Amino acid sequence: MHTTIPQLGLGTFRLKEQQAIDAVATGLELGYRHIDTAQIYGNEAEVGQALAGSGVARGDVFVTTKIWTEHLAANRLRASLEESLVKLRTDYVDLTLIHWPSPGAAVSVAESMEALLAAREAGLTRAIGVSNFPIALLRDAIAAVGADNIATNQVELHPFLQNRAVDAFMVDAGIHLTAYMPLAYGKVMDDATIARIAQVHGATPAQVALAWAMAKGYAVIPSSTKRANLESNLQARDLILSRQDIADIDALDRDERLVSPDFAPAWD
């Protein structure tokens, strides 16, 4: 069951209160139709408020949320997702992900994936997937529910961390990749190679980094609070990089992981 995830979305990590409402409202106004949130972000209610006030039909927006680690057990997952739906003011989300693997494998991948699948069958979510899963845990998820039932694995991915082993495994398995932090906390703006390519195309470094990831087939979910940046990022969909541009950015990989909390899995 393959779900089409809009290639360019609006991430809401670190956006709080009015800032979250304003960013999502502005994004929807500009034409974003893919909004990414999570239980742990503490902004589902604000995202829901912005969605409700946007005048955009619910069916026209792809909404993702993520189940936090405390709610991964079968007896907690569904109730936590129902709570998310109340906050988001919707009857369903388009995609629900396991946000991080259960710390210390306290809850098995199979238990969480089967609970997610049951939530999908109950109509609470249209698709299910995972986030921050290395290859070993992706294998567990596939064993539990089948690759066809895993819409995406959302991982940190940008020019300086290209996650090639995970990407290759996912291509073979037929699982789509969503890249979070595609601008590497803004570090792409300071890179000479990316700046040079941007100059050639009359584009911004952010647009180049996003276009590079989208050229590889990934979905990207950059976040911004500034209207100009939200608008500019959206234009990355129209930027076509040359093969040489892509090769030059490929060469920037230095395994620079920016997100690795103490409960993170063993990365590939």
CB 70 within 8 A of CB 103: no
Kindly give the interhelix angle for 17-30 and 44-53, rounded to the nearest 10 degrees: 40
Q: Give yes or no: 41 in active site.
A: yes
Domain boundaries, the chain: 10-184+217-223
Burial, 135: exposed, middle or buried (Cβ in 10 Å; 0-12, 13-18, 19+)? middle
Q: Is 71 annotated as a binding residue?
A: no
Provide the 10 A C-beta neighbour count for residue 175. Answer: 23
Which residue out of 41, 180, 185, 218 is catalytically annotated?
Answer: 41
Amino acid of residue 111: E
CB 2 within 8 A of CB 151: yes
Top CATH class of 10-184+217-223 equals alpha beta
Res 108: pLDDT: 98
- Residue in 61, 168, 145 with CA at minimum distance from that of residue 98: 145
CB 112 within 8 A of CB 135: no
Report the predicted TM-score, pTM, of the whole model to 2 decimal places: 0.96
CA 56-153-15 angle, to 5 degrees, is: 50
- Kindly report, residue by residue over 38-81, the tens digit of the pLDDT: 999 999 999 999 999 999 999 999 999 999 999 999 999 999 99
Provide the 10 A C-beta neighbour count for residue 31. Answer: 12
Res 2: pLDDT: 60
Query: Which residue ranges in the chain fall short of pLDDT 50?
Result: 1
